[in-house]
């Protein structure tokens, strides 16, 4: 490719809304252009990278028995009513109507449609297992689209679905995808860690997220240095540590605590540590009022809580609603609570002895409260605690550490969640009807590109891993007026292209400084500078973008050296 003909649009100024490196660099290097909030065009250079990532994904899916197909974005609401998700998916589901006023949606994922296809096409156990997949556009009307391609409203996803006869089959498919995902991200040059994950709106149980480690990641990972436990904070578990255990339950006392609304203030006034207190937090779960009890020094994990409650939307209740339910904001407590208010308690709370909590009325708290004595009602006991750094590993007890990650992919065991609802069954060897056992497996292609940039950039620009670079090599003739140089550069360009090396030549009439800056910004792994020395000593300079290493090589050897470098850099990434 000739740079003079390339539809590229590097930017000098980056809009302030681009907060993270990948977003800034993608805009500066002209890989993407914003169309609307969370909606982007992929420009030619960016799309080349996307295609390379998609190719790696295809190869790894096919290697495990995946079969590529392509399903529509626009789907009839009926399908989603059958699965029940039309009503529970919430505002993220992009609903549209056709000219006849019929309900459709822009698909955020394709479990319903693929299951409906398989329901119609699969009759017998002989047709299983199956692993259809597609690389296709998804729509999610995200509440906070941000960080460029990290969280969009329209984005490209690879989604594969596995259909097996039984759970043993699902286990095999799941492991195959686990391997495929590990390979995909390794080949893309990403440092990734699979972690145990929540299965969210997709449902089912058993899931891993693949986290590209990065400070700007929106996900928090908890992991153990001693054993290999690793989970997202949405699901991480800890051993419960209830306080007061072993003490004799004392008689309950009401204490005057004026102006003590925070846990710290109450703890100080009562002269006890925060872990002897229970916080009462009021939520609206899909419009229903609930109270939640958690140890004073802990935070509620809203993902766990939403799963326990089986709700989609979870907000704090406002003061007015709290009062309507007979409590005083800032002094809420479970003792004497109205019968119609559901109470969810964290596992620790249910075991605490002699704890303190709000009295439910202004300026008062209670001491020596004992749930096991029946001082108050608990409807549900569950693990709803947000695990924080230093908490004990649930497997080996060592203190957990934290890291931030970008979720680039997720794999789920769905079991029969969709096949049962949609009636996707097969006849087994005995002629008996069985629900098909399913799994689903997604990779965000654009988010993967963004994560690659987060992990591979410096002050000057992107540093593409060879496997996904838009071009492998860039040739920079430093003086476009020097015919000899231009001729040598052209010759090299022809030779490398002939050998199948993806080469870009910067044949623009620009100063060398401009060319070098753009080369660094666009991040091609190898740069060949054809300069004065080419005329004087017959040599050119090869620069490796990632290390800054420079070598002088004879013109006659360049093509061989470059070809070998490209090959070995690809091999390092398990691509050849």
Q: Which of 455, 466, 478, 452 is nearest to 532 (CA)?
A: 478
Number of residues in contact with ligand ATP, rule: CB under 6 A? 17
Task: Give the x-and-dash track for 368-407 against Mg ion (CB under 5 A).
Answer: ----------------------------------------
93 scored as a contact of ligand ATP (CB under 6 A):
no
Q: Is 40 in contact with 152 (CB distance < 8 Å)?
A: yes
Site for ligand ATP in 99-118 (CB under 6 A): 109
Q: Which run of H or of E encompasses 315?
A: strand 314-316
219 scored as a contact of Mg ion (CB under 5 A):
no
Crossing angle of helices 483-498 and 555-572, in 10° steps, is: 40
How deeply is 310 buried, as exposed, middle or buried, from its count of CB atoms within 10 A (0-12, 13-18, 19+)? exposed
Residue with Cβ nearer Mg ion (272 or 440): 440
Q: Which span sits near ligand ATP by CB under 6 A: 23-31, 357-365, 408-416, 466-474? A: 408-416
Among 52, 110, 151, 457, binds ligand ATP (CB under 6 A): 151
Q: Which span sits near ligand ATP by CB under 6 A: 16-24, 259-267, 404-412, 532-540? A: 404-412
Strand ranges for 419-502 from DSSP E: 425-427, 433-435, 437-444, 457-458, 461-462, 473-477
Q: Which span sits near ligand ATP by CB under 6 A: 75-83, 127-135, 152-160, 493-501? A: 152-160
Strand ranges for 167-272 from DSSP E: 192-196, 207-213, 219-224, 230-232, 253-256
Crossing angle of helices 44-63 and 167-187, in 10° steps, is: 140
Kindly state the DSSP code that residue 130 receives in the 8-state scheme: B
Site for ligand ATP in 304-323 (CB under 6 A): none
Q: Which span sits near Mg ion by CB under 5 A: 42-50, 409-417, 496-504, 545-553? A: 409-417
Q: Which span sits near ligand ATP by CB under 6 A: 74-82, 403-411, 490-498, 549-557? A: 403-411
DSSP 370-412: -GGGTSS--SEEE--BPP-TTPBPTTT-PBEEEEEEEEEEEEE
Task: Give the x-and-dash track for 200-239 against ligand ATP (CB under 6 A).
Answer: x---------------------------------------
Q: Which span sits near ligand ATP by CB under 6 A: 26-34, 149-157, 180-188, 422-430? A: 149-157
Among 30, 132, 442, 525, binds ligand ATP (CB under 6 A): 442
- Please report how many Cα atoms fall inside a 13 Å half-sphere around the Cα of residue 54, on the Cβ side: 18
The residue of the chain with the least Cβ separation from ligand ATP equals: 444
Among 40, 89, 155, 223, binds ligand ATP (CB under 6 A): 155
Q: Is 524 in contact with 467 (CB distance < 8 Å)?
A: no
Alpha carbon distance 137, 56 (integer Å): 18
Residue with Cβ nearer ligand ATP (125 or 161): 161
Q: Write out the residues near ligand ATP by the rule CB under 6 A.
A: 109, 140, 142, 151-152, 155, 157, 200, 407-410, 442-444, 446-447
Q: Write out the residues near Mg ion by the rule CB under 5 A.
A: 410
């Amino acid at each position: 490719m000739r740079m003079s003909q390339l539809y590229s649009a590097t930017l000098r100024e980056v809009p302030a809304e681009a907060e993270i490196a990948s977003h800034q660099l993608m805009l500066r290097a002209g890989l993407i252009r914003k169309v609307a909030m969370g909606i982007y065009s992929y420009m030619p250079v960016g799309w080349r990278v996307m295609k390379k990532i998609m190719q790696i994904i295809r190869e790894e899916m096919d290697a495990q028995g995946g079969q590529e197909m392509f399903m529509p974005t626009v789907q009839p609401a009926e399908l989603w009513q059958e699965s029940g998700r039309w009503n529970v998916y919430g505002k993220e589901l992009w609903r549209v109507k056709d000219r006849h006023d019929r309900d459709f949606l822009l698909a955020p994922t394709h479990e319903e449609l693929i299951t409906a296809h398989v329901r119609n096409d699969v009759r017998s156990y002989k047709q299983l297992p199956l692993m259809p997949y597609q690389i296709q556009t998804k729509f999610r009307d995200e509440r906070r689209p941000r960080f460029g391609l990290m969280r969009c409203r329209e984005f490209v996803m690879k989604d594969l679905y596995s259909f097996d006869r039984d759970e043993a089959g699902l286990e095999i498919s799941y492991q195959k995808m686990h391997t495929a995902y590990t390979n995909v991200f390794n080949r893309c040059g990403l440092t990734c860690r699979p972690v145990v994950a929540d299965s969210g709106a997709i449902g089912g149980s058993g899931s891993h997220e693949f986290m590209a480690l990065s400070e700007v990641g929106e996900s928090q990972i908890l992991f153990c240095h001693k054993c290999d436990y690793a989970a997202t904070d949405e699901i991480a578990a800890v051993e419960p540590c209830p306080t007061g255990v072993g003490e004799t339950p004392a008689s309950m006392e009401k204490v005057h605590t004026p102006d003590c609304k925070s846990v710290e203030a109450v703890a100080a006034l009562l002269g006890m540590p925060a872990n002897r207190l229970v916080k009462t937090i009021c939520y609206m779960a899909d419009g229903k009022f609930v109270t939640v009890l958690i140890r004073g020094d802990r935070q509620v994990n809203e993902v766990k809580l939403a799963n326990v409650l089986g709700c989609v939307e979870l907000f704090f209740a406002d003061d007015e609603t709290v009062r309507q339910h007979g409590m005083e904001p800032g002094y809420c407590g479970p003792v004497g609570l109205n019968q119609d208010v559901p109470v969810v308690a964290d596992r620790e709370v249910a075991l605490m002895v002699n704890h303190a909590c709000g009295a439910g009325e202004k300026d008062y708290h209670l001491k020596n409260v004992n749930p096991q004595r029946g001082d108050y009602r608990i409807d549900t006991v569950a693990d709803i605690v947000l695990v924080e750094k230093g908490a004990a590993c649930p497997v080996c007890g060592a203190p957990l550490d934290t890291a931030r990650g970008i979720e680039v992919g997720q794999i789920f065991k769905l079991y029969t969640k969709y096949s049962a609802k949609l009636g996707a069954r097969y006849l087994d060897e005995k002629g008996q009807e069985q629900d098909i056992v399913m799994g689903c497996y997604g990779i965000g292609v654009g988010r993967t590109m963004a994560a690659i940039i987060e992990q591979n950039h410096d002050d000057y620009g992107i540093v593409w891993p060879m496997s996904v670079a838009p071009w492998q090599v860039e040739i920079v003739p430093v003086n476009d007026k020097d015919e000899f140089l231009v001729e040598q550069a052209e010759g090299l360009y022809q030779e490398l292209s002939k050998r199948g090396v993806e080469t870009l030549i910067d044949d623009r009439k620009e100063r060398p400084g401009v060319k070098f800056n753009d080369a660094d910004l666009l991040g091609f792994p190898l740069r060949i500078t054809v300069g004065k020395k080419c005329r004087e000593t017959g040599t050119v300079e090869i620069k490796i973008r990632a290390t800054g290493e420079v070598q002088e090589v004879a013109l006659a050897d360049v093509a061989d050296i470059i070809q070998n470098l490209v090959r070995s850099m690809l091999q390092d990434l398990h691509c050849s």
